[in-house]
Amino acid sequence: MDPEILIADEPVSALDVSVQAQVLELIDDARKRFNLAVLFITHDLRVTAQVCDRIAVMHKGEVVEEGSTAAVFAAPKHDYTRALFDSAPGRNFQFGKFDAD
């Protein structure tokens, strides 16, 4: 098998921060080694900021906003996206820890 995409559905939820980092590094390593696109599904905005170069925000099963992660975080356009970001603890998001190669 030679997959083109890895779908990761909540791969780091309920893990402590050190284990999260290890899992994220494994996913990033696999992405680079096998030249994969990664669809990363998560509710964790901090993780999103670190690992995603693009983001799609879903509400009630529908995409309500999408774009580059930095642009959406900097200026969310949809009311739901703004409410989601406003409810997140802390706002010191580190962007691009896992840069696209």
CATH code at 24?
3.40.50.300
Tell me, yes or no, whether 94 lies in a domain: no
Q: How many domains does the chain have?
A: 1
Contacts 24+ apart (CB under 8 A), 96-100: 96/50, 96/53, 96/70, 97/50, 97/51, 98/24, 98/28, 98/31, 98/50, 98/51, 99/53, 100/53
Instruction: Please report which confidence band the pLDDT of residue 101 belongs to, taking 50, 70 and 90 as the band edges.
Output: low
Alpha helices by DSSP H, 13-100: 17-34, 45-51, 69-74, 79-87
Tell me, yes or no, whether 99 lies in a domain: no
Reported as a single tens digit per residue, the pLDDT across 40-71 is 999 888 888 888 999 999 999 999 999 999 99
- Domain extent for 26: 5-87
Tell me, yes or no, whether 100 lies in a domain: no
